[in-house]
Structure 1
Amino acid sequence: MRVLIVYAHPNPNSFNHALVEHCQQGLIAAGHEVKLKDLYAENFDPVLRAEHLAELQTGVIPAKIQHEQAALLWAEGLVFIYPLWWFGRPAILKGWFDHVLTRGVAFDYSQQGVTGLLKHRRAAVIITAGGSQDYFKGIDAETLIHRPMTDGTLSYCGIPQVDQFIYYNVPTMSDAERHAILAQVQQLGREFDA
């Protein structure tokens, strides 16, 4: 399977970056062809300006966005890796969606409603969080974390299987806990198409 990893963290020495490396290793070990889109390293501009929106609404896709959409459409599976910031995705990732998931490519409207156009077989969303799982469960924040990415973005665009993994207490976890998570994510890569 062709798998695109979309990664959003500004620190190349972060735990998120280690997650990317281990996921990629697992995918490659399983025989998948992998491309990595590191939004910060690529200096992706997440701001959707008025002139860009006007172009998109007339069906004109700027070359920059055509390049991003080509990477998206090349893939049969998607993996997103990012930290939870203020109960959401980093702005750079949200901006990537705003630019890339355009009408006619990722979705379309009809009298019957919205139709998702993406043909990816699976997506996995891997998120790191600073708070405890008890904290997030106590305020039902997991629903707020899951739904924008799963229902509101990927399922909306037609991806039938979206799995989400949240790792809590990342700043304070032990090295042993970090190694266990890295092994789990590597295994996720190995079993991505299972």
Structure 2
Amino acid sequence: MNILVIYAHPYDGSFCKGILDTIVPKMEKRGANVKVIDLVKMNFDATMRPEDLKATVTKTYTQEVQQEQKNILWADAIVTICPVWFGSVPGFLKAYFDKVFITGFGYDYTGGLLQNKRVFSLFTFGSKDPYLSLANQYKSIEYLWDNIFSMVGFKDIAVKYFTNVPRTTDEVRAKYLIEAIEFVNQIFDKELGEIGQIGAGELLVKLVIEGKLEMPKVKKI
């Protein structure tokens, strides 16, 4: 099994780094081929350049994007690790998917082109409930992930949250790391499609493609 880990945190002393250092050896021990992409250290260009957008027609991708598309195609499962800032993922992680999953590679008018893949995402929060629930931060992450990964055809979309990370105790953080291992163990212990989608993204895309659901029209002013 090939697992691509996309790591998105700029600080090596972060709890996200602790998650990374904990789960990678465990996945390798279970027989996986694991490749880690550190978006900060590789200095991934988070700006959508004109040549990136032009590639939706030409299919001529930059060398950086081509390499990441090869990594995506290589992977049976993707694991993402990142903090939640202002109720969303870091901009450079979102930009990675904007550029790599671009039209013509990730999806086209027929639907998602990256079928039978899975994503398992671990998110850390500085805050805790009831604030996170009241601010709809869980929902905002789930809607975003559903839109991205359902659009390109992923079969399983799984998320795991760790809250109040900077202010909690070492005992709780140690428990979180055990939970992180249990979470990624699902890659090995659950069959493809057993976990399923977060929301209705896959169904909505299917209905639009089949002409059974009309996309909302934008009113021009």
Q: Say yes or no: TM over 0.5.
A: yes
Tell me the equivalent position of 2:120.
Answer: 124
Matched, 1:143 2:142: no
- CA RMSD across the alignment: 1.4
How far apart, in 1, do the equivalents of 2:124 and 2:58 lie? Answer: 38
Answer yes or no: is the 8 Å Cα contact 1:25–1:186 preserved in 2. Answer: no
3-state SS of 1:19 partner: helix
Gaps of 5+ in 1: none
3-state SS of 2:96 partner: helix
Q: CA deviation at 1:177?
A: 0.7
Structure whose alpha-carbon radius of gyration is higher: 2
Q: Identity, % of aligned pairs?
A: 30
1:52–1:105: structure 2 CA closer, same or farther, 3 Å change rule?
closer
Answer yes or no: is the 8 Å Cα contact 1:25–1:189 preserved in 2. Answer: no
Matched, 1:172 2:167: yes
3-state SS of 1:6 partner: strand
Q: CA deviation at 1:147?
A: 1.0
Gaps of 5+ in 2: 190-221
Tell me the equivalent position of 2:39.
Answer: 39
3-state SS of 1:170 partner: coil
Q: Structure 1, residues 41-87: CA drift from partner, whole Å, max 9, x if none?
A: 11111001223312343221122211110111100001010000111
Answer yes or no: is the 8 Å Cα contact 1:9–1:40 preserved in 2. Answer: yes
Tell me the equivalent position of 2:181.
Answer: 186
Answer yes or no: is the 8 Å Cα contact 1:76–1:119 preserved in 2. Answer: no
3-state SS of 2:97 partner: helix
Answer yes or no: is the 8 Å Cα contact 2:117–2:153 preserved in 1. Answer: no
How far apart, in 1, do the equivalents of 2:71 and 2:33 lie? Answer: 13
Q: Structure 1, residues 109-152: CA drift from partner, whole Å, max 9, x if none?
A: 14xxxx11113432101100111122111233321121101x11
Tell me the equivalent position of 1:161.
Answer: 156
Tell me the equivalent position of 1:134.
Answer: 130
Runs ≥4 residues deviating over 6 A:
none
Answer yes or no: is the 8 Å Cα contact 1:131–1:168 preserved in 2. Answer: yes
Answer yes or no: is the 8 Å Cα contact 1:39–1:93 preserved in 2. Answer: yes
Q: With a CA cutoff of 8 Å and minimum separation of 6, indicate the structure with the bigger relative contact order.
A: 1
How far apart, in 1, do the equivalents of 2:75 and 2:55 lie? Answer: 25
Tell me the equivalent position of 1:86.
Answer: 86
Answer yes or no: is the 8 Å Cα contact 1:29–1:190 preserved in 2. Answer: no
How far apart, in 2, do the equivalents of 1:120 and 1:89 lie? Answer: 24
Q: TM-score, normalised by structure 2?
A: 0.81
Answer yes or no: is the 8 Å Cα contact 1:20–1:81 preserved in 2. Answer: yes
Tell me the equivalent position of 1:62.
Answer: 62
